[in-house]
Amino acid sequence: MVRLLIKIAIFLGSAALGLWITSLLVRDFTLHLAGFLVAVVVFAIVQLVVDWIVRRFLRQNGPAVTAVAGVIAAFAALLIASLFPDGIVITTIVGWVFATLIVWIVTGVITWLAERFLLPKASRERRRS
């Protein structure tokens, strides 16, 4: 249970940082303050579900499939989060491409680092065996 709570916190934090950094780097990506929390929660939930699916079903197919699933998850999360009013607004196709890639890279790196250093060591040992 503690592991799940830590994982949820990691996904929320990485989503918040990924969306914020993307809003700084991509001109066609606007993140409204009023909808920021909704966008973060929606993005984190979609990422959490896709992460579970990837770990459960696609992991044995190799890192390339996992990476493609991550990019698709980032795009889907942005799309779903953009459906909520006053959240995310992406105005061009180039904005969608860059936003997807930047959010995917930032959330991936942050999640990987946070899981490596914040999750209990016993959990990592069980995964290896």
> Two tokens at 66?
């996992």
> Does residue 72 belong to any structural domain of this protein?
yes
> Does residue 5 belong to any structural domain of this protein?
no
**Total-model pTM:** 0.80
> Does residue 32 belong to any structural domain of this protein?
yes
> Does residue 31 belong to any structural domain of this protein?
yes
Number of domains in the chain: 1
> Does residue 9 belong to any structural domain of this protein?
no
Encode pLDDT of 22-78 as tens digits. Answer: 999 999 999 888 778 888 888 888 877 877 777 777 666 667 777 787 888 889 888
Checking DSSP bridges between strand 29-31 and strand 88-90, what pairing results, if any?
Answer: antiparallel
> Does residue 8 belong to any structural domain of this protein?
no
Q: Which residue blocks in the chain are alpha helix, DSSP H?
A: 2-25, 36-53, 63-82, 93-118, 121-128
